[in-house]
Amino acid sequence: MKIRKDLLILSFMTMLLSFFIVKCFDNQRIGYDIGVTTSVRKIQELISQLKSLQEANSQLKEELKQKEVVLNKYEEEATGRIYRGEEIRAQLEQARILAGLTDLEGPGVEIILNDRKRDTIMPSELYSISDFIVHDIDLLEVVNELKAAGAEAIAINGTRILATSRISCGGPTITVGADQRFTPPFIIHAIGDPDALASYFKRPDSVYHVLTFYGLEFSIKKLDNVKIPRYYGDVNFNYARPVEGGE
Amino acid sequence: MLLPIIGILVGIILGLTLPIHIPTAYSPYMSIAVLAALDSVFGGIRASLEQKFEADAFISGFFGNAFLAAGLAYIGDRLDVPIYLAAIFAFGTRLFQNFATIRRHLLNRWRERAR
C-alpha cells in the first residue's frame, strides 16, 4: 500500500502543477500589457476583443433605438392629454437637438484634415516634424471657425461635438469628446450654410492658410446633405444646478 | 502510473474552467515557480521509482522550491540583478538529471520485462 500513497500524493501534485502551467499559458493568451511585449498573437487577441465590443456596442445602440421608439409613443400619448402638450413637446425636441441627442441632417461641409505626407517633405525645409502634423489646437481652431461661420452641428470622425466636448492632445492621438481617441485623418462634418462655412476659411487670417502653408492636407467640400450622428453617452451635472426661484 | 496522468488531466481541466487569473505583472515569477515545481515533481517521480519516496520531503520541496524561486526572481527584479537565472540554472539542470534517471529506470524495467 505504500506505493499507492506515493502515487496519490504525486498525482495531487501533478494536478497542482498542470493547473499552474495552464494558468501560465492563460496569461500569455490574454494579455493587456501592450507596452511590455506586443506579440502578433496579443494584437490579434485585442483585435478580436475590439470586434466583439463593437458588435455589443451596435447591439446596444439597436436596443436604445427600440427603447426610444417606445418613449416616443408615450410622449405622443402625453402630448394629447396635457395642457399645451404640443408646445411642450416641440420645446423638448428643440432641447434634444441642442443637447445633441438627435441624428441631424442638412446642407453643410465636409472637411478632411490630415498630416503632411512624409515623402513631400523637402530636406531643405527648416521646420520640425511637429509642424507637419495635425495638432489638437489645429482641430480646435477649425471647429471654432466652423462655429463662427454659423455651423449648427459639428462632428469629428462621427463623434458629435457638444457644448461640453473637449478636443485635447492625447499623445499620438487627439482626444475628442468624452473619451474618443482619433488619429489622422480627421473628417469633420458640419451642418450650416455651405457657402458661408466654406468661405470662412478663405479669410486671410484663417487657420486654413497656416495649415496649408505647412503642407497639411486640408480639403473643404460643400455637400447638399450631411448626416451628423447623435451623441451617445451621458451628460452628468454633478456640481451645477439651476438657481431656485430665479431672479 | 495511471493516477498521476489522471492528476495532470484534472489539473488541466481545472485550469481551463476555474475563472482564476494571475495578474500579468506576476506572470514572470509564476513561470519560475512553475519551473521549480516541475523539478520537484520530476524528483518525486524519480524517488517513487527508486522506492525512496518521502511524502513530507516531496511536499515541502514542491512548495518551498516554488516560493523560493519566485521570491528570488522578485528580489532580483527589485535589485535589477537577474537572480532568476540562478533558479533557472539550478532547477533546469536538476530537471534534466531527474528526467535522465527516470528514463534509465523505465528502460531498465522494460528490458527486464522483455527478457
Q: Considering only CB atoms, which chain A residues are within 8 Å of B21?
A: 23, 26-27, 30
Say if residue B49's pLDDT is above 80.
yes
pLDDT tens string for chain A (247 positions)?
455 677 788 888 888 888 888 877 765 554 454 455 566 777 888 899 999 999 999 999 899 989 989 998 998 888 888 888 888 888 988 888 888 888 899 999 999 998 888 777 666 666 777 788 888 898 999 999 999 998 899 999 988 988 888 888 888 889 888 778 888 889 999 999 999 988 998 888 888 888 888 888 888 999 999 999 888 877 788 898 888 876 5
How far is the C-alpha of A149 from the C-alpha of A135, rounded, in Å? 21
**CA distances to A61, A113, A132, A214, A219 from A129, in Å:** 40, 17, 5, 10, 21
Q: Residue A247: its pLDDT value, please?
A: 59
Q: Considering only CB atoms, which chain A residues are within 8 Å of B58?
A: 9-10, 13
What is the CATH number for A157? Answer: 3.30.70.1880
Q: Is A85 exposed, middle or buried (0-12, 13-18, 19+ CB in 10 A)?
A: middle
Instruction: Tell which of A53, A80, A96 closes a domain.
Output: A96
Q: How many domains does chain A have?
A: 2
B84 touches A at CB < 8 Å: no
CA A37 to chain B, closest CA, distance in angstroms equals 11
Range A140-165 burial, b when 16+ CB lie within 10 A, else e: bbbbebbeebebbbbbbbebbbbeeb
A155 inside domain: yes
Whether A121 and A210 map to the same domain: the answer is: yes
Q: Is B12 exposed, middle or buried (0-12, 13-18, 19+ CB in 10 A)?
A: middle
Whether A214 and A166 map to the same domain: the answer is: yes
What are B74-85's pLDDT values in tens digits? 888 888 888 888
Tell me if B55 and A6 make a contact (CB, 8 A cut-off).
yes
Where along chain B do its domains lie?
29-114
Task: Residue A52: give the domain boundaries.
Answer: 40-96
A235 inside domain: no
Q: Residue A2: its pLDDT value, please?
A: 52
Q: Residue B81: its pLDDT value, please?
A: 83
Q: Considering only CB atoms, which chain A residues are within 8 Å of B9?
A: 18
The C-alpha cell that represents B99 in the structure block: 528526467
Its ipTM equals 0.74
CA A43 to chain B, closest CA, distance in angstroms equals 16
End-to-end CA distance of chain A: 94
Whether A62 and A120 map to the same domain: the answer is: no
Q: Residue type at B47?
A: A
Neighbours of B82 (CB within 10 A): 11
CB of A146 closer than 8 Å to CB of A235: no
Say if residue B22's pLDDT is above 80.
no
Among the ranges given (A86-95, A201-210, B16-25, B55-64), the one the predictor scored with the smallest mean pLDDT = B16-25
Whether A139 and A211 map to the same domain: the answer is: yes
Whether A150 and A215 map to the same domain: the answer is: yes
Whether A125 and A166 map to the same domain: the answer is: yes
